[in-house]
Structure 1
């Protein structure tokens, strides 16, 4: 009866200003606004009832009502940096799905749960069409299921993959859809990647983007709020306009043409994860947060990491 209620707060829905109305070609009607508002009812119950809450990024925390911010601590789940690590010179060979790209000198990768507008799949496929015209030796690997994980599906049962393949005349000998992959094969894709593309509406940040950085990939990512909490253009990744396939293609080309210049960006990408998102450092913070007393509701931020680690060490000694 005296147990505390601790909640994980991933997202609070808004009809305007974040994901729902991000695409000007998809205007909302009154029913949409009401539906989105109602999604928050159980979340508000949890915010009111919980003793404390956890949110993985500052961007995601900021979506929740300010009245409850004092209850919510920001601490990411963490990335296993020992598993997601670079492997210089890696080539992609996946015998299970009969995929051998050991000959590919240029490999562009894209990963998402589904193939949908929320994660920029249509814009990416348009960029691939442009890229194929300019880079005849470039191969593209797309990891994910042929479904919609977030947002609306197309009418009449058509998938976005079908729609894009009908819209663009692609050389399918150089575009490889792997479907869902086990983690070991997914890691091989990242380690062999020349350039990885991640696009997202202002929505929940995909864990895959951080795994990509940990693997030392050269990331081309959308200049949207969840991404820019982590990525600085030209420092640990390259940013692009979410809606501009031409800009996406141009930045992919920039990365492919200057691998030596991009080496430092790859190194800083991994360093970003080691310094701020490493599971081995964040897990102790999670445990401390769970064990702390109700009156000690200190918000842990990544800037507090060194101080927190010191406190945990003293607790263990005592």
Structure 2
């Protein structure tokens, strides 16, 4: 009898544990922990999101096209093309839904304004510097771009490529998913622990070197060779907003582009509210919309001039 009683209690406890684990799995799957957007290494520009992903993470839609852009597929019917280039600020990360990205908002608005298939292609990845971007464009081309819009922040000044291993090691850049969301969650948290406790700094911040990033010059020269406009958007961190000035690295980026006669839009001159930020640098959905609204009239005017020239040539 004692053995049967003990076995019964054991089975009840086991059933409770299985039920709790099942509930946890259901909740984690609801938030997409079994389908994180994945990264892959690249010999030319370090890393990028894998192409052709369509997933739901934290209830946010995350899509990449055949070129790993956070955009819909490129089409031969694209009539006007704007290349938005940058890092995770532009990419939006897993925290921002595809439809809330500045690139998506701009594309939808410009399509209505011009009644054409205007594309705003989102070429970006986490902690990319301009040298990553240039290497990407050198590898894949510029997609018949009519305008290049470079989204920068002060952290880009010395963020040079190092090709240190990071994909699959940093919790923000997984290389594979697992069948069970619980396993994905536990591995992700373990990697967070490794980065925060076992190591002095995260590999995501390990690429800062002493040389001003050559990608700024390369992208400027690329726009000159293509004979297309290059518009520069300088994004301020939350700390820079509070100080009402960019740090010295940010000032150096601004000076570089102004010396090269490029229009520089500084969002520090606009009213970026606290709810526009997810953290010190990344934008929330509201912040993405705000960035899109700032950029829209500048991009519209550039495209309008191009459209007018095309009409005169016909």
Instruction: Give TM-score, length-normalised by structure 2.
Output: 0.23
Instruction: Give TM-score, length-normalised by structure 1.
Output: 0.22
